[in-house]
Amino acid sequence: MIVSLTTNRIERVQPGSRLEGDGVEMEVLSSRPHQDRWIVAFAGVGDRTAAEALRGVVLRAEPLESEGELWVHELIGCEVVDTQGRSFGPVTAVEANPASDLLVLSDDRLVPLTFVVDRTPGGPLIIDPPAGLLD
């Protein structure tokens, strides 16, 4: 199967990894990068028909805890505030981008994740953007 990863944690598609979604649990048998995606063989998916039946299924894995990591589901809805306390509204989405994923604010402005300096659970997302980015 061709798989698009929305994480930089490639261990998610290493042999033995377990992913689940839409009521199915799948074990990775093998994987290899292919252009900007991955070719992944899953246990129990032995032919094209079985693979086609899984088209569009979003697979998830248990979070791997790492200090300072940001998770998309935790960012959506967070208020974005700069280091001077100015509020820029909530995050409505996170867009994948090769250089750095982008926070999409409620007014459609974009903030690269590289400018996030602090995130306290239940609190605002603190950014330190360069001058002019959000003007």
In terms of DSSP bridges, do strands 37-42 and 24-34 run parallel, antiparallel, or are they unpaired? antiparallel
Q: Are residues 43 and 82 in the same domain?
A: no
pTM of this structure: 0.53
135 part of a folded domain:
no
The string of pLDDT tens digits covering residues 22-55 is 888 999 999 999 998 999 999 999 999 999 999 9
114 part of a folded domain:
yes
Query: Which pLDDT does position 66 carry in this prediction?
Result: 57
Please state the domain count of the chain: 2
39 part of a folded domain:
yes
Query: Which pLDDT does position 45 carry in this prediction?
Result: 93
106 part of a folded domain:
yes
Q: Give residue 16's domain range.
A: 2-53
109 part of a folded domain:
yes
Query: Which pLDDT does position 63 carry in this prediction?
Result: 65
67 part of a folded domain:
no
Q: Are residues 76 and 49 in the same domain?
A: no
Query: Which pLDDT does position 74 carry in this prediction?
Result: 82
Q: Are residues 48 and 81 in the same domain?
A: no
- Residue of 16 and 71 predicted with greater confidence: 16
Calculate mean pLDDT across residues 99-118. 93
Model confidence at 103: pLDDT above 90: yes
64 part of a folded domain:
no
Model confidence at 75: pLDDT above 60: yes
Q: Tell me, what CATH number does 76's domain have? A: 2.30.30.240
Model confidence at 121: pLDDT above 90: no
65 part of a folded domain:
no
Say if CB 123 and CB 112 are below 8 A apart: no
Q: Two tokens at 40? A: 């992944």
DSSP for 5-58 reads -SSS-GGGGSTT-EEEETTEEEEEEEEEEETTEEEEEETT--SHHHHHHTTTPP
Q: Please provide residue 50's backbone torsions phi and psi, each rounded to the nearest 5 degrees.
A: -65, -40
